[in-house]
Structure 1
Amino acid sequence: MRQHTVVAMAGFLAVMAVGHDVQAKSLEDILKEKGVITEAEYKEASKAKPLDYKLGKGFVFTSPDQKFQVQLGGQIQAQYELDNYEAASKQDVSQFNLRRVKTLLSGYAFTKDLTYKATYNWANVVKDNTKAMEEVNLKYRVADELQVMLGQEKIQYSRQWITSNTAQQFVDGSFVRNAFMQGYDTGINLHGDLWQGVVKYDAGLFGGAGQNTKNKTNDNAYNFRLAFNPLGDMKYGEGDLEHSAKPLVSLGSSYYLSTLKKTVSGTGSTATSAIDNNNSNFVTDSNGWLGTAVKGKYFGTAAAENISVDSWEADFACKWLGASMQGEYFWGKAQGEASGKDLIAKGAYVQAGYFVIPKRLELALRYAWMDPNRQLANDAVSEIQGGVNYFLYGNNLKIQGDVGNRHTYKNKSDDLVARAQVQLLF
């Protein structure tokens, strides 16, 4: 069964890879390359037009005085997934899925230093309409060293979460990242690029209740991140699609602090507990490190209590001449303030890729491991995945596929997950 699955996936990707092998260029780009126009003429011709289209950014509308601009684009990720479970108690699944269908709105107002963004994921209207509205915020650039965000955005925690899903080496992020990342939240974040991006920092204060959720307590969440790029600014993007002429290295670390409210309903054997008023990913995800423990009654169901949360991660990334590698280590701790019960979770992943055909065909490999509760024995999970990416127009139009084996130590089972995805960004 599994051999047939791998063959079918390979065939699907081979068929889908037949397409145009041309990168879109503007007229100004072509004239500049042929030496018809000078650099000064190129810059003049490239100035904002009242109506324009930029690949990957969408349609661009600019006012005559260039004080206002709107960019309207979209993203579609059409996906096929096959889950083949070893345990007889689990049902195998073969399904087609619209993983993400987004409307992307951004631009600036009055000055190019005041920007805005609004992202709506239509796929979540069906899955979970509380998470349809994603990034909605205003940002003001005082200087490169200080930029202020007000609104809802990604919590700047975990390199792979900060990296856009459109620029990742696998069909989706590691299951370890999914278990530890906070997701989106509303608040204020200070960001800065120092020494032309050699050092980047973030310091944020958020509601603490998660995506599109109002906080009902006086406890907020705090997030801090620091990244060091010793060889020069390194953008967030997996793989070396640009075929970097010089080596690039990035080292980063993030810290998240919050206090959550655990509530109890029912009595006796039917009593259940949950984390009240929190839509954060590490709580709501089916494999979230804290949510899993609360649903499993690790903190008990005797009484409601506050749970203090500390979560830390460290990451690295490097790329050069089409080769790339990155990894992250996660650590989380939750403590019941009334019960005094501790939960400690750990996890990590490392992945590498190489463009066998520069800027066109990439192969990737990833290994991930997680222990969701160090206090419980034999509950770790590991996964190894292989992936292939074919780029027709960079990340704007690409085909991805991956096959992975996830091992659960508790019941000694191995589950096969195979996925294929076509991505359009416009």
Structure 2
Amino acid sequence: MTARSFNYYGYTKESYLECSDLIRTTNRKHITILNTWFILINLLYLVFSYLNLFGVNQERIPFYAAYLLAGIVFEIWLTAFPKTAERHNYLAVFSSIIGLLSYGILTSIFAPYMPATMFLVLLALTALSYIGTMAIMICLSILAVGIFLTTSYLFKTFSIAYNDTYNAVVVMTLVFGLHYTFQRTRVSQFILYQRDLQIQKELEIKSSFDALTTLLNRGRFFAITEEVLRSKTSEYITLCILDLDEFKGINDNLGHQMGDKVIQTVGKTLIQQLGIENYISEMTSSWDLTQKISIAGRLGGDEFILFIRGKKTQNEVRELLQRVLDSLNKVQFDKLNGIHASFGVTEIISTDRDIDNAYKRADEALYESKRAGKNQIHFSTKALPGDA
């Protein structure tokens, strides 16, 4: 094991950093738990001080009140701004450690005739609770123990300070081993969790996207559009079916490899013209469908389908589709002189509770494009059975 891997609990820095989000979240949760416990302890000691119980006199009231107030303020920050606490992970962790260990050192000073216990308990708790690196943990522990022993020799008799030294060295040695073991186990769990997420992502992507074009496959396309329609949105949406003209001739005359290249080019053109590059090959479950995201899919063979959002009028949709058609017509490679396609388009109307009727209208409009001479865009003007 190298020194670098030891610093990251036996893993590489890259593997450790992949878990950084989980580490920050875990640290915030542990900070909150420890801080809640710290507030309760101070509240209890404050009551003991006020009542002069268990040797805790009223002179300590300002001390416990100050730490109680600090703990409450810290708790409010952690609870009200959890994302900020996670983003500033080291600030939150260091603040918690400094607060807890300074508390342990001061309580030790206030009891000069007794060996310290609170500091040692807090040292072990902070070491087992927070994930950082071994280098940070070792440095913080040595620094804290150094300050603790210095105050112990300054304010206590030599025999008690010597006892504190023995206890501190034993606890610190145990803490180093326990911290490494505990945090290595946690990091291992985080890495396994990340791998599971990656596998889930890859499986979802494979089940959602067409392998040749990276567009949505038929099933996922209809599932997503149905979800949008169920949201009862009032936005202007159009559905477009796109079918390539004379595609069989391309396969027969130029070969199936050329046919695949044409299909890929169409997919790439649709992605670029719709501006959906950032959504391709991402888990569809993470898409925010409240945003007006246009969706493109491949129905199979040389047939594609578009769910166009973010436009306000039919003219805007026509302009978009014309740009797509123009881009396809300009394609030149090998013996291919342009890609020709027919478009059938329909507007989603208020009675379209699902996509079926809109699909029928777009399909009819597509055949109108074919009958009118192909390589053109045709909008549906018919009402089909089931339409209002």
Asked if TM exceeds 0.5, the reply is no
Radius of gyration: which is bigger?
2
The TM-score with structure 1 as length reference comes to 0.22
TM-score (norm 2): 0.23
Larger helix proportion, structure 1 or 2?
Answer: 2
